């Protein structure tokens, strides 16, 4: 079984530039999560999707961050414009049957550096 796929693995951009991250969850997983992980900290949830619907985006800074999950499979997280403080690892995770206690499966992450 293929795991959660993320690309790119690394991204370096100048501040004020846009950037996008892509995630392909495990086949059949209807729930998809985007997390932010700052250095030395645990992941923090940005947004959660149930199929195509964003059911929890309370932690997403909507002035510059946006996300979509067309067709309920792949997802894209975008930052526009990026700021220095956005430098972090962006993790995508997926799980099946969000109403149960199933564990979440994480991708390798995208390490963003904003210069």
Partner 1 sequence: AQSVAQPEDQVNVAEGNPLTVKCTYSVSGNPYLFWYVQYPNRGLQFLLKYITGDNLVKGSYGFEAEFNKSQTSFHLKKPSALVSDSALYFCAVRISGGYNKLIFGAGTRLAVHP
31 binds partner 1 (CB under 8 A): yes
Interacting residue with partner 1 among 67, 109, 112, 114 (CB under 8 A): 109
22 binds partner 1 (CB under 8 A): no
Q: What is the Cα–Cα distance from 26 to 103, expressed in whole angstroms?
A: 13
The structure tokens listed for 90 are 């962006």
Total residues contacting partner 1 (rule CB under 8 A)?
Answer: 29
56 binds partner 1 (CB under 8 A): yes
In the complex, the smallest distance separating the C-beta of residue 16 from partner 1, rounded to whole angstroms, is 28
């Amino acid at each position: 079984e293929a795991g959660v796929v993320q690309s790119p693995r690394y991204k370096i951009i100048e501040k004020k530039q846009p950037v996008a991250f892509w995630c392909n969850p495990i086949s059949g997983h209807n729930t998809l999560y985007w997390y932010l992980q700052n250095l030395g900290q645990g992941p923090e949830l940005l947004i959660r999707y149930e199929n195509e619907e964003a059911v929890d985006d309370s932690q997403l800074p909507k002035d510059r961050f946006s996300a979509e999950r067309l067709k309920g499979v792949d997802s894209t997280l975008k930052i526009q414009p990026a700021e220095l403080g956005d430098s972090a690892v962006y993790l995508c995770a997926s799980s099946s049957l969000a109403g149960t206690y199933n564990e979440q499966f994480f991708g390798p992450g995208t390490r963003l550096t904003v210069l």
